[in-house]
């Protein structure tokens, strides 16, 4: 794929397909709308997380580690994918999860975490946000004292190694759409690794006709300019990538009340995709991100002659835990 690509272990069902949303295109009165089905990277491993973990876990194995330590919300797609990978490869998995109650209902992603045998600790938001570094260090030390070799990576595997997952995704899209096709590429932005990888892919493969737009679903545009910019910079430095400064583009206004809190626009997007295309989005990531994508198409924000493409990053198991939205 690229001369500087690090080692990777094949875990996902790749490449994922690009599909036409013909009913939606007709409803919107546009020629084409495309969806990159990264929700189809696997069943237990579904979504964007497995792309990043292919590189991170390759490093885990190369270093001879036997325990994966990571963190996230109690319905984290990233933690569920990590638990599944651990079970598949015979690695112990330890999850540090944020939850609003001491014993959350075991459903959705959390049910799968338990099924896959992950060791789980729950922490109320005050403790998780205020003592996260201490909680991680404590878990790592406990694993070492037990004679294990733990390896830590943060939520979303959003580290320089992880960005290669979405550099590879861009490489797939080039093969599927063509480098000379004018593309407006949208995705949800939360832990920064996906968007950083998409930006780097555009730069590394010289895609001058492509535009990469992120729709924040958890934090402000100012926050993501710093987070994504920092991750891009660290990746360029760590791997010696010869790319210059790249503009960051975000479409704001779709976060709503905050992370993992549904919005009216997101629910509309979920229902529209479900009823017109038979495709499931989730209320935390893809529903909000797709709401921004719909707004861009309805408001004439897609460039003339460009093909609008949305990257579906998964989240179906999180949706399974939100039956209350459809009660």
Active site amino acids: 76
Displacement of CA 175 from its chain's centroid (Å): 21
CA distance 234 to 91: 28
Tokens 């922490």, located at residue:
123
Q: Where are the beta strands (DSSP E) in the chain?
A: 18-20, 34-37, 67-73, 92-98, 119-123, 150-152, 183-189, 210-216, 307-312
CA distance to 63, 216, 219, 263, 285, per residue, from 253 (Å) = 42, 8, 10, 11, 14
Joined tokens for residue 150: 């733990």
Closest of 217, 253, 186, 243 to residue 35, by C-alpha: 186
Closest of 180, 161, 179, 182 to residue 170, by C-alpha: 179
- Helices vs strands, H then E, count in the chain: 11, 9
Q: Is 109 exposed, middle or buried (0-12, 13-18, 19+ CB in 10 A)?
A: buried
CA distance 45 to 77: 9
CA distance 105 to 4: 44
The C-alpha angle 232, 235, 237, rounded to 5 degrees, equals: 110
CA distance 270 to 51: 24
The C-alpha angle 290, 174, 299, rounded to 5 degrees, equals: 30
């Amino acid at each position: 794929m690229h001369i500087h690509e690090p080692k990777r272990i094949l875990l996902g069902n790749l490449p994922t397909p690009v599909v036409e949303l013909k009913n939606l295109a007709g409803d919107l009165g546009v020629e084409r709308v495309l969806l990159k089905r990264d929700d189809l990277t696997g069943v237990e491993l579904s979504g964007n997380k497995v792309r990043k973990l292919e590189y991170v876990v390759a490093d885990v194995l190369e270093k001879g580690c036997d325990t994966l330590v990571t963190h996230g919300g109690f319905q984290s797609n990233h933690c569920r994918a990590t638990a599944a990978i651990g079970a598949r490869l015979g690695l112990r998995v330890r999850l540090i999860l944020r939850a609003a109650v001491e014993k959350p209902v075991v459903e959705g992603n959390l049910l799968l975490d338990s099924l896959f045998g992950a060791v789980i600790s729950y922490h109320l938001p005050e403790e998780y946000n205020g003592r996260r570094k201490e909680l991680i260090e404590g878990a790592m030390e406990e694993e070492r004292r037990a004679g294990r070799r733990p390896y830590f990576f943060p939520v979303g595997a959003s580290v320089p190694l992880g960005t290669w997952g979405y550099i590879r995704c861009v490489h797939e899209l080039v093969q599927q759409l063509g480098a000379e096709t004018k593309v407006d590429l949208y995705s949800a932005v939360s832990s920064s690794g996906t968007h950083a990888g998409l930006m780097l892919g555009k730069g590394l493969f010289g895609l001058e006709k492509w535009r990469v737009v992120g729709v924040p679903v958890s934090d402000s545009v100012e926050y993501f300019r710093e987070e994504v910019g920092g991750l891009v910079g660290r990746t360029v430095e760590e791997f010696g990538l010869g790319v210059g400064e790249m503009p960051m583009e975000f479409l704001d206004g779709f976060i709503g009340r905050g992370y993992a809190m549904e919005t009216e626009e997101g629910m509309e997007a979920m229902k529209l995709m479900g009823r017109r295309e038979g495709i499931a989005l989730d209320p935390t990531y893809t529903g909000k991100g797709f709401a921004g994508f719909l707004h861009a198409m309805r408001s004439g924000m897609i460039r003339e002659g460009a093909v609008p493409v949305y990257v579906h990053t998964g989240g179906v198991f999180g949706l399974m835990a939100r039956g209350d939205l459809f009660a």
